[in-house]
Amino acid sequence: MCIGQVGNLLPHVTLSANLAQHLMPAWGLSAAEGGLMASGYAFGYMLAVPLLTTLTDRIDARLVLLWGSIASGLATVAFGMFAQGFWSGTAIWSMAGLGFVGAYMPGLKALTDRLPAGDTSRAVTLYTSSFSVGVGLSFLVAQIIADRCGWRTAFVVTGFGPVAMVVACLLMQAQRPAPKVGRLLDFVPVFANREALGYILGYGAHCFELYGIRTWLVGFWTFVIAHQGAPSWLSPVVMSFCFAVISMPASILGNEAALKIGRHRAITMVMIASACVALVIGFNATAPAGVLALLLLAYGLTVPADSGALTAGMSAAAVSEHRGATLALHSTVGFGLSALGAWGTGVALDAAGGPQSARGWLLVFIVLAVGIAVGPLALLWARMVRLEKRPS
């Protein structure tokens, strides 16, 4: 499943990896337009996830995963072949995000449905943290192929990545879920589960920050090279790949810390640290490239370190009969705020002077810091509600 997910993620940041260097100059896009086009992926995901993920409570999640993987790959190839500007690019990339709905959270459902009874925290964390490996490879492959063969070829090649998950689905043993009654899109039991809701809202703050920095990481490092210079080996390809890949051990270690000192405490510490690192980067956007590289690597550790603990906490808090609906709301909130993060940071960049302005990048990192700082408040709210309900 983890290998299949890495394949499914090969197209994931192909647009972000080529946005600042290729697509924006080719199509004459502003940062706000570029951010909005990138957010189309998360927006398409957000629209379809309530239906497709809750559907896994009624049919084998393997089937949703299979067809979602196929749709995601085909849409990515279509972007490389047919996208001609902002509107067509946004529409096709939104379709890729819609396909990814079936290619991510249903995979988590298919995995947990086939695990033996007991604590699944480490298995869930391994699956979610392999997300980072896939994103790192997506950054790497998309940029290398675009530089050598053009950005259209990069989309076509990465669009074949989901074949790995298609193979995994075909090898997976079929399951028949227990019959369910009631409405398909019934989120009332999920909203009543305050513990799970706290993790879901925290995940939304995490996704806002994560998608915001992933959208503009290559653009920021391009700014650093243009204004401060950097060794030839410290290219945007190298920085984006390292930033993404170190997310996997960060997420695993974050979850291990959560198991030892408590999820709420560990997640809160990570989120506060991440906000602080973002502010330090923003206020030092004109520092030497070596200093900024170290700061970005530190940010690459703090940004994903709460991911596994948040998803594992949500999964543990979910009522088994409504796990698909809980996963659906988890993804809806997460990718909805992902779309806002990509677009909002682009608007901030334009408002403060554009991609060539240090003030623009300062405002981007301030927006990211404010976004992740909402997470601890959501967890505190959920904890207070739970304490109020305890018998005295």
Q: Which residues contact 325 (CB under 8 A, 6 or more apart)?
A: 53, 54, 57, 185, 186, 187, 189, 190
Least confident of 149-163, 303-317, 333-347, 369-383: 303-317
In-domain check, residue 338 = yes
Residue 272 pLDDT class (50, 70, 90 cuts): very high
Q: Which residues contact 388 (CB under 8 A, 6 or more apart)?
A: none
In-domain check, residue 207 = yes
**How far apart, in whole angstroms, are the C-alpha atoms of residue 203 and residue 162?**
25
In-domain check, residue 180 = no
In-domain check, residue 242 = yes
* pTM for the whole structure: 0.82
Query: Tell me, what CATH number does 299's domain have?
Result: 1.20.1250.20
pLDDT greater than 60 at residue 122: yes
pLDDT, one tens digit per residue, over 339-358 is: 899 999 999 999 999 999 99
pLDDT greater than 60 at residue 387: no
In-domain check, residue 148 = yes
Residue 218 near residue 19 (C-beta atoms within 8 A):
yes
**Amino acid 385: pLDDT:** 60
The DSSP annotation for 213-236 comes to HHHHHHHHHHHHHHHH---TTS-H
Residue 212 pLDDT class (50, 70, 90 cuts): very high
Structural domains in the chain (count): 1
In-domain check, residue 61 = yes
**Number of C-alpha atoms within 13 angstroms, CB side, residue 56?**
34
**Amino acid 210: pLDDT:** 93
Q: Which domain holds residue 297?
A: 2-175+185-389
In-domain check, residue 117 = yes
